[in-house]
Amino acid sequence: MNRFISCIAHSTSEGKLIIGSEKTALFDCGMLFCADKTIDAVEKALNGRALDYIFATHTHYDHIGALPAFRDRWPDLKLVTSPVGAAVLLKATPRRVIRELSQNAYSLYAPKAPFYEYSDDAFHCDMEVCDGDTVSLGDLTVRVYETPGHTRDSLSFFIDELALLTVSETCGVYICEGTVAPAYLTSCRTSLDAVKRCSQIPFSTISLPHQGCLFGEDANSFFTLAEKSLSDCRDFVTELAHSGLNADEILPHFTKRYATEKVIAMQPMQAFTINAVATIACTLREMGENT
């Protein structure tokens, strides 16, 4: 029996199911515009069982935007986030951004589909977890690792019994063999710390954001690639700043370098630009702190 099943319904979305002997869980539930397809895939894999948990790697719309549809399908499921994530979801601005970006995704990927109407109150945490906490699924245990850097609420998860590590976007986004795109939005420094910490977890398999899994030597080399990607991005922005460019002037250079066809296939341009602005800003801030 396959215990870990990808239910990702679109290249921009998320959703990976883990089936324990007593409980089931989904690592992120993905985009709202393809929620019906994600739910169909989850239902098929569950074969009559209920979905008990959604573990959020972080609270961005492409990872938990489909939450209202999942709550409608499984009213008793629990969203699991960090305390920081729980606080974020109660704020008006993040809820507005989730809705706006979800609407944009509809216009891009499902222009003829009606928007899934929901109450913002669907975006709330049911269970807060902190670094080192564990959640039992019966014969499987999910261990929590706080990995801030992409966002302040980013979490990674390790299933001891399967030696399976689900990494947050803090470590970067695996694009193709040998390529990891940087994804730090709040701190390069803490992202590098997270990469180092995750590399020391006794994994044999790594589950990647918006992708499948890496095994063997590919898994072992991921964190080397991730560290280089983060450092190269930091140095690229720093060099442009030292040349006299301000944040607005750095943005087109950053976009030209990082908004590749494969990256935009995973992320709408609007979201890429929002994230790029954040990456540049936090790089400049940390550059100033180091001078």
Reduced to 3 states, what is the DSSP secondary structure of residue 47? coil
Residue-wise pLDDT tens digits, 17-33: 999 999 999 999 999 99
| Span between the terminal Cα atoms of the chain, in Å | 55
Low-confidence ranges of the chain (pLDDT < 70): 1, 291
User: What is the reported pTM?
Assistant: 0.96
Asked if 241 contacts 253 with a C-beta cutoff of 8 angstroms, the reply is: no
In the prediction, which pLDDT does 290 show? 74
Residues 6+ apart with CB under 8 A from 245: 253
Q: What is the largest CA-CA distance in the chain?
A: 60
Cα–Cα distance between 159 and 280 in angstroms, integer?
Answer: 34
C-alpha dihedral sign at 182, 55, 144, 176? negative
Q: How far out from the chain centre does Cα 1 lie?
A: 26
The encoded tokens of residue 192 equal 């590098």
Q: Which residue has the tokens 């966002």?
A: 151
In the prediction, which pLDDT does 291 show? 60
Asked if 213 contacts 206 with a C-beta cutoff of 8 angstroms, the reply is: yes
In the prediction, which pLDDT does 34 show? 98
Cα–Cα distance between 219 and 221 in angstroms, integer?
Answer: 5
